[in-house]
Amino acid sequence: MIPWTHLDSAHIPNNGGELKFMQRGDEFSIRLSGVRGELMNSRVFNSEKVLSELGCAHLTHTDKAHVLVGGLGMGYTLAAALKAVNSSALVTVAELIPEVVKWNQGPLGACAKNPLADPRTQVHIGDVKQLLVSNTPTFDAILLDVDNGPEGLTHADNNWIYSIEGLESIFTTLRPGGRLAVWSAGPDYLFTVRLKNAGFKVDTRIVRSRPGKGSKHTIFLAKKP
């Protein structure tokens, strides 16, 4: 078996630990230091793709749709969002860790077919939260896969996103008819309640990690009326 090679490391802000970027043949892995394990593997991306398909399904014919993806990871959610919208769209991807963007501009890019090179992509290096606090309805879809579920994993500050304050702010940032889609490793009843309390109509979908097999992930699909 081919051994893993450690290609690079990156510090997570606010003492969040370290990300390790690993390669084994044509397979890539991004791991969290300590016992927190693998954040992403380049061979497992079905639910990351479906996150965009569900979150952007209403935008096929929308002129100048604006989609926000947070975070970049291995680029699968971004690539699927670009596929779901038309040529007039803008897709902003927010990524907290600059090295993750660099890895995607390098060897990782080919995995999701280089979505950063698409002229409709705009990169925001920084916390996605900075784009979720505007009082102006800006986005037609917000696709969030920054943690393992509605609880800060990579970054403790992410807990705000899933709080009622965060969700009300996201609601304001969405244009009428806009959708918020959140990736999660499993169900979370209280998160569904908070989404409803923030004004959303909520639907949850179970999606396998690989087409037709693998772990069962949850996608929260929240619609702004």
Ligand X SMILES: C[S@@+](CC[C@H](N)C(=O)[O-])C[C@H]1O[C@@H](n2cnc3c(N)ncnc32)[C@H](O)[C@@H]1O
Site for ligand X in 96-125 (CB under 6 A): 96-97, 100
Q: With binding defined as CB under 6 A, does residue 54 bind ligand X?
A: no
* Binding of ligand X by 154 (CB under 6 A): yes
Q: Which of 116, 146, 174, 181 binds ligand X (CB under 6 A)?
A: 146
Please state, in angstroms and rounded to a whole number, the distance separating the CA atoms of residues 9 and 24: 16
Q: Are 183 and 145 in contact (CB under 8 A)?
A: yes
Q: Does 46 bind ligand X (CB under 6 A)?
A: no
Closest approach of ligand X to the CB of residue 144, in Å: 9
The residue whose Cβ lies closest to ligand X is 73
Stretch that binds ligand X, among 68-76, 167-175, 194-202, 210-218 (CB under 6 A): 68-76
| Integer-rounded Cα radius of gyration of the chain | 16
**Applying CB under 6 A, which of residues 32, 54, 68, 75 lies at the interface with ligand X?**
75
Phi-psi group of 37: left, alpha or beta (phi > 0 → left; psi -120 to 50 → alpha; rest → beta) = left
Taking alpha carbons only, the member of 214, 197, 225, 198 closest to residue 49 is 214
169, 88 Cβ separation under 8 angstroms: no
Task: Give the phi and the psi of residue 148 in degrees, each rounded to 5.
Answer: -85, -5
Name the site residues for ligand X (rule: CB under 6 A).
Answer: 39-40, 45, 48, 70-77, 94-97, 100, 127-129, 145-146, 154-155, 158
